[in-house]
Amino acid sequence: MIVRSLEDVVGTERDVAGPGWKSRRLLLASDGLGFSMTDTIIEKDAVLELEYIHHLEACYCIQGRGQIRRFDEEKWYSLERFTLYALDQNDRHLVQALDADLRLICVFNPPLTGREVHRKDGSYAPVET
């Protein structure tokens, strides 16, 4: 059994940040569950262009308001508390926090190893086997 609080993660090597975001990695590949889970903040007014070409991701909004759209489409989808989005086709996408920070619980498959940061193309590096 794994029991870990957000307080256990903040300020450790599992607490990772980049321009416009921070990710507190609650579960990682080393935890052996086959997926990872993060508590992620997208900062107010940040617009992130991302494409996880090596990972599938699902995010559940628990705080704030934002929007998301596929990179190649014009339609924005609203993100608010208790809304999920899943990038089931490694979708290149834009995600934006609107009035305040946007807080998401994110699950990745394959799991993150821990120190990933977004590369120039918005992706994480492939998982080494």
pLDDT above 80 (res 120): no
Joined together, the tokens standing for residue 112 give 């993150």
Domains in the chain with CATH codes: 6-107 (2.60.120.10)
**What does the block give as tokens for 113?**
């190893």
User: Over the stretch 91-112, which tens digit does the pLDDT of each residue have?
Assistant: 899 999 999 999 999 999 999 9
Specify the pLDDT at position 98.
96
Give the residue with greater pLDDT, 53 vs 80: 80
**pLDDT tens column, 13-51:** 999 999 999 999 999 999 999 999 999 999 999 999 998
The more confidently predicted of residues 40 and 115 is: 40
Give this prediction's pTM: 0.87
The continuous run of DSSP H or E covering 77 comes out as strand 77-80
- State how far the Cα of 79 lies from the Cα of 11, in Å rounded to an integer: 28
Q: Can you give the pLDDT at residue 122?
A: 60
Task: Note the pLDDT tens digit of each residue in 56-69.
Answer: 999 999 999 999 99
Return the closest-CA partner of residue 30 out of 14, 53, 19, 16. Answer: 14
Between 121 and 66, residue with greater pLDDT: 66
